Amino acid sequence: MNRDGDNDVGIDDSSENVLSEWPRVVDEPGVEDDAAGAAERRGNVETWSIAAPPPDIDLEPDGEPEPASEHELESEPDDELLAPEPELELLDPDSELPESKPDAESAGAIVVAPSLEHAAGDLEIPEGYAVLEGVPDGGRRAVGIVVSRFNGNVTSRLLDRALEELELAGVRRDAITIMVVPGAFELPVAATALAKTRRFACIVALGCVIRGDTPHFDYVASEAASGLQLAALETGVPVSFGLLTLDRVEQAEPRVEKGAEAVRSALEMADVFSHLRAAASR
């Protein structure tokens, strides 16, 4: 919509879609408002940011804008109006490039960050006290293993590491009994049954529970943990906890060593119990 005295751009200032900050030349007295004059003025005005108001334009007494000098045309834009571009640092071809660590995905390796859940350091006991302490020695000891079939890809790895650790500890194959159960929920009752036979110095429980969309994970993991502890308390036979409780299946790979840790814990507890019985019989 054109109004008398406006330019020929044809912008409706009453519309809410018009940017009030859009730069345009303010009419001055004595300036012809024809298309040629407007084009000439726009040609002499530098490009400004939409968000910034246009600067004042110096006009000659006859109403014509002062032509920009050659120095002004070659000058850099105002720093306040245009943000400076980041400078590119040129490297010397003879200089050495800084060392960069290889990306884990590109190298095809799984990098496991150190756990912050544990405090490093050894237990220090003051001198002058009687101490009972066991070692993970499997000589002449029978070991029972109860392992769940559910999530078999994970529990198979746990079982492999447990068997490897038993062999390193000196436990013979004919002294190892493996009981397979459907899932983690059945681990406690199976561990209790093995312990009550009094044929095993310790029991190793292996399983895996992965969190899902329902509270099923919480019930199974909680009952399996408390049930395995109850099996040890009722029978007096050490029962180690080798149950993985994961949020995602990808967390299993860095934690398959829990199978070996469960073996070492069970053998150490069996050894310290034997020391306790020997000390009590004196």
The residues annotated with a catalytic role in the active site are 216
C-alpha separations of 170 from 131, 193, 194, 269, 272 in Å: 25, 25, 21, 16, 17
Nearest to 158 by CA among 110, 209, 108, 119: 209
Give the count of alpha carbons within 13 A of 111, CB side only.
9
CA distance 69 to 12: 35
- β-strands 176-181, 143-148 pairing: parallel
Interior CA angle at 266 toward 228 and 223, to 5°? Answer: 10
254 DSSP assignment: G
**By three-state DSSP, how is residue 146 classified?**
strand
Query: Residue-wise over 5-22: b if at least 16 C-beta within 10 A, else e?
Result: eebeeeeeeeeeeeeeee
